[in-house]
Amino acid sequence: MFLASRLLAALVAASFVTSAQAQTPAKPEAQSAPQAAQIDRNGLLILVKSTLIALDQANKTGNYTVLRDLAAPGFAAANNAARLGDIFANLRRDRTDLSGVLVLEPQLTVMPEINANGMLHLAGFFPSAPTQVNFEMLFAPVDGQWRLFGISTNLGSSVPVAPPPPQPAAAAADPKKPDKKPAPAKP
């Protein structure tokens, strides 16, 4: 989803699908469109910031067991602590400090929505300079609480990038057929 040139961390989507299928009952073939999530601003801030701080602390200590244990059962089953360490190795190697998200307000690029599997999905960024923290998160309902089911985060430029110039429109006339002018009317 993010267009940043450097993906620092992402959990394997295939494990999410497998875990999601194990946790949810079979549904009919027709999937419903995502629904807007009914979550207040403070609840949203708590979910996003506490998740990124848990990741930051795991990266700083090299101990991913708390992050895993705070997550949904499907996340924990698909990701042991060693696997999480491998997934987030780039963040650790680069000594990425995510603690600044505590004092910043996230800007959402995907408003909170409930997907067809009943999971809360959202995405956005924390605007900071010279780089911003981009995130995408998926939460599963577990015992009346939203618990982490998937996370992707990367650092991106906070400088706006102009889109590429539009391509010239193709000529309307077919180049294989010569232009024919209508024959003048005969009197």
The band of 14, judged by pLDDT with boundaries at 50, 70 and 90, is very low
pLDDT (mean) for 135-161: 89
Query: In sequence order, what DSSP letters do the residues of 73-94 get, joined into one string?
Result: HHHHHH--HHHHHHHTHHHHHT
Do the Cβ atoms of 16 and 138 come closer than 8 Å?
A: yes
| b (16+ CB within 10 A) / e for 152-169 | bbbbbeeeeeeeeeeeee
pLDDT at residue 102 tops 50: yes
pLDDT at residue 26 tops 50: no
So what's the pLDDT on residue 39?
Answer: 87
So what's the pLDDT on residue 159?
Answer: 65
Matching CATH number, 37-157, of 3.10.450.630, 1.20.140.10, 3.40.50.2300, 1.20.1560.10: 3.10.450.630
Phi-psi region of 13 (alpha: psi -120 to 50; beta: other; left: phi over 0): alpha
Do the Cβ atoms of 120 and 37 come closer than 8 Å?
A: yes
When the pLDDT of each residue in the chain is averaged and rounded to a whole number, the result is 78
Highest mean pLDDT among 7-16, 72-81, 95-104, 153-162: 72-81
What does the domain layout of the chain look like in residue ranges?
Answer: 37-157
Counting Cβ atoms within 10 Å, is residue 103 exposed (0-12), middle (13-18) or buried (19+)?
exposed
Do the Cβ atoms of 91 and 54 come closer than 8 Å?
A: no
pLDDT single digits (tens) 40-98: 899 999 999 999 999 999 999 999 999 999 999 999 999 999 999 999 999 899 888 89
So what's the pLDDT on residue 19?
Answer: 35
Proportion of the chain above pLDDT 90, given as a percent:
51
pLDDT (mean) for 100-124: 93
